[in-house]
């Protein structure tokens, strides 16, 4: 029995090595679990061309939105573990949504193979220019005076924007109605159009609208003030440090992805991020390049999932 197990292990390792030697010999799909226009989509498309060059095969970005990222993430989890079906993993898909949604069709800790965290991004509360408040103190005063009368847009129910805003509401003693969308892009479109007065979003997707004065930044979740927005305080500065959490954007595959393939993809992403032009495109969005190991990214996913499980339990959050 023991000898058969050793033989099986040797065969599996050999198969993984053979796969890695020929990998990739056809296009690689990279699923973005949100609609076009949001930060997840931006990061994926910035990486697609340089990653294609590093791997020697086209990396094709596909948007599979729905369920606050669950639909696209579930597709990656169910894919064949051969390295040709990868997905962009976010805090929403691997931590926040699974923490609040008991019907999530995958386990974020066991159904994916972590490969690399590409970048981390600040999150931000911003308002339409017609909103009376233009700074944090005025914003807090306005929403406190009118509980339930204001609404905020997010990229989807159970996503990081939703849960972080719910945490903010609980800690700040405010009540703002949640309006979920099928991704950051549609949420931004309606907020910029004035159909929703407030948005909680990732900075990279919101920054262009802020620079064009089509959105007004109020408070940001980041280790320190953002160079592009020096007048905007962090959540820590306004006394709400638990809300001061950044998002991540990494690449995962389905469980069982051979280590040799994981290492090859990790190395290709790192090589892509060595290009100053690629790093600049990412950093110009307000994101920070991370480029860590598969083990480090797996530890990040675990820590974030456990954090949001505690948030859900402590704040007694549930899906409607």
> What pLDDT shows up at residue 156?
83
The domains found in the chain, sorted by start residue, are 24-121+246-315 (3.40.190.150), 123-243 (3.40.190.10)
Q: Which string of DSSP letters, residue by residue, matches 140-209? A: HHHHHHSTTT-EEEESSTTSHHHHHHHHHHHHHT---EEEE-SSHHHHHHHHHTTSSSEEEEEHHHHHHH
The separation between CA 120 and the C-alpha centre of its own chain, rounded to angstroms, equals 8
**Comparing C-alpha atoms, which of 111, 136, 294, 302 is closest to residue 219?**
136
Alpha carbons 153 and 195: distance in angstroms, whole number = 10
> What pLDDT shows up at residue 212?
97
For residues 294 and 161, the model is more confident at 294
For residues 297 and 19, the model is more confident at 297
Residue 251 banded pLDDT, cuts 50, 70, 90? very high
Residues 7-33: pLDDT tens digits? 655 555 555 566 567 899 999 999 999
Alpha carbons 299 and 292: distance in angstroms, whole number = 11
Instruction: Compute the average pLDDT of residues 207-222.
Output: 96
Alpha carbons 200 and 168: distance in angstroms, whole number = 10
Residues 112-122: pLDDT tens digits? 999 999 999 99
Q: What's the chain's average pLDDT?
A: 91
| Percent of the chain scoring above 90 in pLDDT | 71
Instruction: Compute the average pLDDT of residues 305-319.
Output: 82
For residues 68 and 193, the model is more confident at 193
Instruction: Compute the average pLDDT of residues 163-178.
Output: 92
> What pLDDT shows up at residue 228?
87
Instruction: Compute the average pLDDT of residues 207-217.
Output: 96
Distance set, CA 194 to CA 16, 128, 152, 188, 198 (Å) = 53, 6, 11, 10, 9
> What pLDDT shows up at residue 3?
62
Least confident of 46-55, 198-207, 289-298: 198-207
> What pLDDT shows up at residue 319?
74
For residues 33 and 39, the model is more confident at 33
* Residues contacting residue 22 through CB under 8 Å, at least 6 positions apart: none
Q: Which string of DSSP letters, residue by residue, matches the chain? A: -HHHHHHHHHHHHHHHHHHHHH--SS-EEEEESS-TTSHHHHHHHHHHHHHHHHHTS-EEEEE---GGGHHHHHHHHHS-SSSSEEEEEEHIIIIIHHHH-TT-SS-TTTSEEEEEEEEEE-EEEEE-TTSS--SHHHHHHHHHHSTTT-EEEESSTTSHHHHHHHHHHHHHT---EEEE-SSHHHHHHHHHTTSSSEEEEEHHHHHHHHHTTSSEEEEEESSS--TT-TTPPBTTTTT-GGG---EEEEEEEETT--HHHHHHHHHHHHHHHTSHHHHHHHHTTT-EE----HHHHHHHHHHHHHHHHHHHHHHT----
Alpha carbons 304 and 107: distance in angstroms, whole number = 14
> What pLDDT shows up at residue 252?
98
Residues 233-242: pLDDT tens digits? 999 999 999 8
Question: How would you class 140 by CB atoms within 10 Å of its CB: exposed for 0-12, middle for 13-18, buried for 19 or more?
Answer: middle
> What pLDDT shows up at residue 38?
82
> What pLDDT shows up at residue 6?
59
Instruction: Compute the average pLDDT of residues 181-190.
Output: 91
For residues 232 and 6, the model is more confident at 232
**Comparing C-alpha atoms, which of 152, 153, 132 is closest to residue 142?**
132
Residue 300 in tokens: 């990040």
Residue 160 in tokens: 């990081």
Query: pLDDT at residue 184 above 90?
Result: no
Query: pLDDT at residue 260 above 80?
Result: yes
Instruction: Compute the average pLDDT of residues 181-204.
Output: 93
Characterise 161 by phi-psi region: left (phi > 0), alpha (psi -120 to 50), beta (else). alpha
> What pLDDT shows up at residue 283?
87
> What pLDDT shows up at residue 320?
62
Alpha carbons 81 and 87: distance in angstroms, whole number = 12
Residue 109 in tokens: 């800790």
Residue 300 banded pLDDT, cuts 50, 70, 90? very high
């Amino acid at each position: 029995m023991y000898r058969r197990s050793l033989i099986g292990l040797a065969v599996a390792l050999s198969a993984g090595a053979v796969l890695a030697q020929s990998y990739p010999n056809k296009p690689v799909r990279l699923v973005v679990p949100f609609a076009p226009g949001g930060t997840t989509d931006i990061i994926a498309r910035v990486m697609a061309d340089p990653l294609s060059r590093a791997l020697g095969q086209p990396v094709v970005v596909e948007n599979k939105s729905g369920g606050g990222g669950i639909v696209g993430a579930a597709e990656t989890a169910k894919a064949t573990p051969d390295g040709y079906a990868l997905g962009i993993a976010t805090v929403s898909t691997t931590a926040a949504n699974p923490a609040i949604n008991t019907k999530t069709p995958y386990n974020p800790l066991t159904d994916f193979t972590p490969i690399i965290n590409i970048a981390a991004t600040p999150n931000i509360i911003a308002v339409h220019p017609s909103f009376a408040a233009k700074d944090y103190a005025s914003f807090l005063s306005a929403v406190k005076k009118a509980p339930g009368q204001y609404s905020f847009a997010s990229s989807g129910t159970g996503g990081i924007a939703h849960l972080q805003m719910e945490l903010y509401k609980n800690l700040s003693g405010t009540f703002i109605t949640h309006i979920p969308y099928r991704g950051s892009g549609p949420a931004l479109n309606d907020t910029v159009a004035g159909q929703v007065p407030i948005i909680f979003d990732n900075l990279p997707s919101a920054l262009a609208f802020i620079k064009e004065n089509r959105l007004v930044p109020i408070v940001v979740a980041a280790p320190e003030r953002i160079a592009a927005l020096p007048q905007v305080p962090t959540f820590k500065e306004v006394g709400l440090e638990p809300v001061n959490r950044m998002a991540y954007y990494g690449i995962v595959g389905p469980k069982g992805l051979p280590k040799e393939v994981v290492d090859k993809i990790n190395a290709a992403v790192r090589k892509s991020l060595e290009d100053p032009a690629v790093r600049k495109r990412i950093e110009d969005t307000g994101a920070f390049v991370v480029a860590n190991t598969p083990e480090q990214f797996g530890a990040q996913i675990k820590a974030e999932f456990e954090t949001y499980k505690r948030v859900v339990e402590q704040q007694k959050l549930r899906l409607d």
